[in-house]
Amino acid sequence: MNTLKPKKAHKRGYPVAILAGLEDTHAALWKVFSKVVKPEKTLTINGTRNNPKALYNFHESIINALRPTLKEGVRSIILVSPARTNYTQEFTNHVRQHHTWLIQGSNKTVFSEITGSANTPSQVAALKRTQAFRQLICETTAEETENLIEILEKRLSTSEKNDLVLFSLEEAEALILKQQNTSRPKPEYLLLTDKYLSDNRRKNRLHRLMQIAANRKVKTRVVNAESPAGVRLTQLGGIVCIAKPE
């Protein structure tokens, strides 16, 4: 029985970023897709912000809540906090002190900040309509995908014969759908441009591959075709599957 629901995925689009609304007593996390924003989780501080232990535990709960989406390959995070507060600064300081793995290396997470509130669906909708937010999303995801292209270029130039870069839907399917064979290289990233996705005549097949890839922990990202990373992917055919040995 096929449990995949590609039609629902089509309506929400593809994952773009994580939105974290930081307030005095809680944090509201949202998943930003290309067409909609969906609520993810609300986390409450157990105590007050002027209690170092309570604040530390609160920030740790945010990091833990972000982990599943980060593992999916989405590494753009937009932090939102009200004017005249230092909530985003407190959180980014926590990341720098305790989670350097998030902000170092070619697969680092890109954090951006904007003033406002993302506490309710209406507040998120209002924020999403602003030019400043749209611009920030573009800049943040562009920086993130540039990091992915760095990984791609290194893999293309590597002398390791077991590393693979595949350049077609058929090749990506052959690797990802038959991943159970442990003697084969392991798919690590599936990258494609939004133009490749929108223009492809085999959309259901492509969405099915993306869903299976996500289920099998392959980091899947759709890249703006007009961004520098998107231009490079277009040169390679619009879709790339990056694999590594087990």
pTM for the model:
0.79
Domains and CATH numbers, the chain: 6-143 (3.30.420.60), 158-244 (3.30.1330.30)
Answer for the pair 198, 230: CB distance below 8 angstroms, yes or no.
no
Answer for the pair 184, 175: CB distance below 8 angstroms, yes or no.
yes
pLDDT per residue rounded down to tens, the chain (246 residues)? 444 444 454 577 888 899 999 999 999 999 999 888 999 999 999 999 999 999 999 999 999 999 999 888 888 999 999 999 999 999 999 999 999 999 887 678 999 999 999 999 999 999 999 999 989 998 888 888 888 888 888 888 875 655 688 999 999 998 898 755 566 678 889 999 999 999 988 888 998 999 899 888 898 999 989 888 899 999 999 999 998 766
How far is residue 27's CA from residue 14's CA, in Å, rounded to a whole number?
A: 23
